[in-house]
Amino acid sequence: MITNFFTKKIKIKHISDILKIIFFILLITLISFLLENNPKLNLHVYIVLSLLIVVALYFFLFFALFLQSYQYDISRGKYQRALLKCKNLLEKKKRKPKYEFDILFHMSILNYRLGEFKKSIQTLDKIKKIDMNRKQKCFFHHIYAGNLIFLKKENHLIEEHIDKALSQCKFIEYYPLTAFFYLKKNYNEYAMELVKEYQNHNKKEIIVFEKYFISHHDQFQIKYENNFYLGSIFYLLDEFQKAKEHLILTAQCKFDNYFTQKSKELLEQINSNMMKKEKNK
């Protein structure tokens, strides 16, 4: 409730300063209280108690700031709000390249999830010349390829980004996206090999990309996005029952995103096709 009040009355960029002031006021107040009410306590006890208070207040400050962060909004599926916060932060941290890279990367992922594929590519283009490590390059090219697939760009452009991603590192959480692309290219056997490897893999060993760019609380890719791709793959293969099993999971997502809406549309088409088959028997 406190943080909601602040966001309504005060600009986000001032919240951290206000919380720091509150932090020091509380610290001084508590220490003064201890000194006044426990004059017999020795210096060592005061130091220990002061340290405990500092730690407790630090965690309070950290949690309060996290509630105001775009990472928290991402974990809650508030993608539009997270985008707005990213834009505000970009203006504030425009002189710090490291922060700018992280924020732009988040924005590209958020736009991708919202179905704003052109905006996602435009954002990725702003960071493509920045020096990245192998994992970052892998994620960059996979997301770029995903955008190009939905924009129905030339296959050779999509394949170029997929190859670049795989040349950096092979993350199994991107296999459904890669399989979806190759199935549309009629490479059915290779596509299904990727699907089987993904489905048989121990989920505990999957390293989700959010660990590096987005809050670890966010599991959107594994729970929803990948089930959309798997459902779409089985839909293209006319395996409607298998398709429904995956698409239903994505359709249940409460977040405002492109993949949930498309899953609902595909489920309607599947139900219609299944009803037609029943009538023709």
pLDDT of 51-109, one tens digit each? 666 665 555 555 444 445 777 788 788 899 889 888 888 877 555 666 788 889 989 99
Whole-prediction pTM: 0.73
State the average pLDDT over residues 220-243. 94
**How far from the centroid of its chain's Cα atoms is residue 109's Cα?**
7
In this prediction, residue 4 has a pLDDT band, given cuts at 50, 70 and 90, of very low
pLDDT at position 99, please? Answer: 74
Q: CA torsion, points 58, 64, 67, 71, in degrees to nearest 10?
A: -30
Question: Which residues have C-beta within 8 Å of that of residue 247, sequence separation ≥ 6?
Answer: 227, 228, 231, 232, 235, 263, 266, 267, 270
Structure-derived torsion over alpha carbons of residues 236, 241, 247, 248, reported in degrees to the nearest 10: 160
The span from the CA of 106 to the CA of 214, in Å, is: 7
pLDDT(262) > 90:
yes
pLDDT > 70: what percent of the chain?
A: 67
Distance, in Å, from the CA atom of 253 to the CA atom of 223, rounded to the nearest integer, reads 9
Mean pLDDT of the region 207-214? 46
More reliable by pLDDT, 211 or 159: 159
Q: Report phi then psi at 4, rounded to 5.
A: -65, -40
Residue 215: per-residue pLDDT = 42
**Residue 18: pLDDT above 60?**
no
Residue located via tokens 């949930």: 260
Q: For 245-276, give one letter per residue: b (16+ CB within 10 A) or e.
A: ebbebbbebebebbbbebbeebbeebeeeeee
Measure the CA–CA gap between 142 and 164, rounded to whole angstroms.
9
End-to-end CA distance of the chain: give it in Å, rounded.
Answer: 59
- Residue 200: predicted pLDDT: 87
